[in-house]
Structure 1
Amino acid sequence: MLRVIEAFSGIGSQKKALDRINVPYEIVNTVEWDINAIIGYCAIHYGFEGLNEYDFLTKEDIVDQLSQYTLSNNGKDVLEPTKLRKMNIEILKRLLFSINRTRDLVSITDVRGEDIDENIDLLTYSFPCQDLSICSAWHGNNTGINRDAANRSGMLWEIERILLEMDRGARRLPRFLLMENVSNILARTHIGNFNEWIAILEGLGYYNKVYKLNANKFGIPQSRERVYMLSILAENQEGIEGRLDRYFSENNLDNYINTNKKKLSDIIKIDYSNEIYRREAEESTPNNTPSRMQIYLDNLKIYQSGRFTSEDAKTVTTKQDRNPNSGVIEYQSISENKAPYRNLTARECFLLMGFDEEDYNKLLHNDFMVTRGRNFFTKEKRLRMAGNSIVVNVLEEIFKQIIYIKNEILENN
């Protein structure tokens, strides 16, 4: 049984990957403060059976319980209690239900070492990338993971704090840690801080393997390069570290290629006889403005003149109606004054992140109305959930390595 904590859990790509490789596991806790991701995770992985048990609670009861947590409505800013009280009760009920169902510890800043179970096999942490990204640097922000920057990417150091609190309290550290973030963490601007983090982990007894992996080598037609660091609690035992050296020299995922890679035609929904796909295409077609035509000219043409013209989409981000984006699809809208293309739909973005269409349909099935004519899981929220996630297929291969190392190296030493 692999006992897991998903920090910065988002919509649970880690859980999805564990389901895929069919190993016994338990998600002991999630750690997520974005209410949209919290509810989205629950909608995809558990559903809301039993929600009616919360009907007996008044709005004030629910707000009182939620007020103990540090929450966010956008993944960036703290949600003030006064704004919590103004929310629709249906949102509040599902939020409280989801926190309880996923055993969410909510904000990483509120988690203490004593809150972490001592028998954790794997702690995953995909801390925010906004202050590390190339786009951020273009806008003059090079703060990255500086300790004193007080920014979103600095949440990395909350993981350090928790591990040090566990160590000082003589609590057993997680056997494995898995970090995921943008490849710019290895850039000259940030490598000093990253090396400091590696040194801290080594001081705690972790052996670290750093990968730079692209989703298009793992069966997904998306050019998305990310850095992953797998940390193994070897406790400076030379025998274990030597075996790990040999294992990674023979099983280096930098050299991995999935020969059964999906095609974009498996993911991009151009069968507009399907009314659902047609409606989603229409929703993703922008108005015909000069700025939108510039987007059309500047970006990758995924589908044009009746054929797919690219092998991979570009990196899926939290928005598609932007420049640059993941690529555009030639499309003739049924409405006037629309651009001659559409952006990727949220469904397509989910598929490009390695989720199944069934997962996306679960999100829609568990959607709910918050005001007249507006559902909770808006298109913008769904796109952000996908863009903030991790490609499931890459995690599958890393998790297979974890299982092997756990069974054959750590427990057979």
Structure 2
Amino acid sequence: MIKILELFGGIGAPRKALINLGVDHKAIDYVEIKENRVRAYNALYDHRHKPQNIVGWNLKPDILVHGSPCQDNSVAQYSSHTAKENKKRGAEEGSGTRSSLMHETVKIVRTMGEWKPRAVIWENVVGVLEKQAVGSFNDYLLNLSNMGYTNSFQVLDAREFGIPQARERVFCVSTLDGNPFDFNKLRKRKMRSIEEFLENNVTDPRYLINVPSMLNKIEEFNPVKPTDSYKRRLGVIDEFCWTITERQDRCPNAGIIRAADKPEYRYLTEREVWRLMGFDDDDFDLMLNEFPMKKGLRNATLYALAGNSIVVPVLEAIFEVLLAEDFIEQPNDLRSLPNGQLELIC
């Protein structure tokens, strides 16, 4: 049985990935301070967790997965006039920014003493590689290296793993056995059609774009000029959507849908964004029970929960390599196939 610890656990994308792979596992704890995310996790996985802070945590998992808050590492944050101080400090240890919590994970591993997780997985926005934040990222890598870990990181795009969403994230995998994690062994998948993820005949007026300030930003009405310094337009989704974030009713967003029979445009629905993060409709139905829709309104909570998660198929590919390459002990009933996939022994 694989034991995992989820820090900044969100809606439990690592759990969902292991479930999809059929891997026998146990979540020895889940640490998340946001109340809505804890409620969602409990509903999805039938737990009774309460919001809690990661500071000072001390448990012994096989795999530790953390995705510390990314806002202070984003390019948009650095470009904001109200973020000058965060721009200077980035995610530095002790800086007090949300992204500095990545260093709390280092402290947690350090306090474990001689025993340590076999693998530590960290996910964040590509902004951690920008000059304002890369120093802190390098500190994170150095601290893990000093504790015996071998670090590997790469920018992965959800489109490479079957999901039609242009979502690039940095994934760092740190292992204890001295052999670097080989991202070249990840099993890539052909990007599926966006039509598989969209609902049919969405006519509910709550999803219709009718605010003038948003209509004026639709790219088909106001094409981006070559002189525009930053693309702040609403693009119509064709083969894939753009990065799903906490909100869809702002510009830019993950993209909009053009109605087939009339010159109207709509937002992605809550169910669609959950599908585009790798969750299935049964998961979403559980969320609807926990966070019901209100008449005539879109559900901001369901959008935010999805936008803050990790794309599940990307984690599946990482777990497959970790297990197949013996970075962590495999369950007795799991074996690796020649094509790199995992198979349960019945």
In the superposition, the TM-score normalised over structure 1's length comes to: 0.70
Q: Is 1:163 aligned to 2:163, yes or no?
A: no
Q: Is 1:181 aligned to 2:163, yes or no?
A: no
Q: Residues of 1 paired with 2:65 and 2:75: CA distance? A: 23
Partner of residue 130 from structure 1, selected from 71, 75, 79:
71
The equivalent residue for 1:356 is 280
Aligned partners of 2:175 and 2:327 also within 8 Å: no
Partner of residue 314 from structure 1, selected from 232, 237, 242:
242
Q: Is 1:347 aligned to 2:271, yes or no?
A: yes
Q: 1:288 to 1:137 in 2, by over 3 A?
A: same
Partner of residue 248 from structure 1, selected from 155, 162, 182:
182
Shift of 1:108: 1.2
The equivalent residue for 1:299 is 234
Output the amino acid matched with 1:358. D
Partner of residue 194 from structure 2, selected from 264, 271, 293:
264
1:8-27 matches, within 5 Å, as: 8-27=8-27
Shift of 1:284: 2.1
Partner of residue 278 from structure 1, selected from 191, 199, 203:
203
Q: 1:345 to 1:26 in 2, by over 3 A?
A: same
Q: Residues of 2 paired with 1:324 and 1:378: CA distance? A: 18
The equivalent residue for 1:215 is 158
Shift of 1:288: 3.2
Shift of 1:409: 8.7
Aligned partners of 1:332 and 1:341 also within 8 Å: no
Aligned partners of 1:29 and 1:105 also within 8 Å: no
Alignment size in residue pairs: 313
Aligned partners of 2:39 and 2:290 also within 8 Å: no
The equivalent residue for 1:287 is 210
Q: Residues of 1 paired with 2:98 and 2:291: CA distance? A: 29
1:8-407 matches, within 5 Å, as: 8-46=8-46, 101-102=48-49, 106-109=52-55, 111-113=56-58, 116=59, 118=60, 120-140=61-81, 141=83, 142=87, 143-167=89-113, 170=114, 172-234=115-177, 241=178, 244-245=179-180, 248=182, 251-253=184-186, 257-259=188-190, 261-269=191-199, 271-272=200-201, 277-279=202-204, 282-289=205-212, 291-297=213-219, 298-302=233-237, 310-331=238-259, 340-367=264-291, 379-406=299-326
Determine what percentage of the aligned residue pairs are the same residue: 31
Q: Residues of 1 paired with 2:120 and 2:197: CA distance? A: 32
Aligned partners of 2:62 and 2:119 also within 8 Å: yes
Aligned partners of 1:295 and 1:322 also within 8 Å: no
Q: Residues of 2 paired with 1:284 and 1:367: CA distance? A: 18
Q: Deviations over 1:344-394 (max 9, x none)?
A: 11111101111112211121134469xxx68xx970010000100000000
Aligned partners of 1:213 and 1:225 also within 8 Å: yes
Q: In proportion to residue count, which structure has more helix?
A: 1
Output the amino acid matched with 2:247. K
CA RMSD of aligned residues (A): 2.6
In structure 2, the gaps of 5 or more residues are 220-232, 332-346
Shift of 1:402: 1.4
Q: Residues of 2 paired with 1:10 and 1:399: CA distance? A: 18
Aligned partners of 2:207 and 2:298 also within 8 Å: no
Aligned partners of 1:222 and 1:313 also within 8 Å: yes
Q: 1:408 to 1:322 in 2, by over 3 A?
A: closer
Aligned partners of 1:221 and 1:263 also within 8 Å: yes
The equivalent residue for 1:54 is none
Structure 1, 138-147 or 121-130: larger mean CA deviation = 138-147
In the superposition, the TM-score normalised over structure 2's length comes to: 0.83
Q: Residues of 1 paired with 2:164 and 2:78: CA distance? A: 27
Q: Deviations over 1:205-258 (max 9, x none)?
A: 111111210000000000000000111122xxxxxx3xx35x728x444xx531
Aligned partners of 2:66 and 2:123 also within 8 Å: yes
Q: Deviations over 1:238-294 (max 9, x none)?
A: xxx3xx35x728x444xx5313x321111122x22xxxx433xx22223331x1113
Output the amino acid matched with 1:193. S
Q: Residues of 2 paired with 1:378 and 1:365: CA distance? A: 15
Q: Residues of 1 paired with 2:322 and 2:16: CA distance? A: 16
Larger radius of gyration: 1
Output the amino acid matched with 1:28. I
Q: 1:227 to 1:408 in 2, by over 3 A?
A: closer
SS at match of 1:301: coil
SS at match of 1:278: coil
SS at match of 1:208: strand
The equivalent residue for 1:61 is none
Runs of 4+, deviation exceeding 6 Å: 407-411
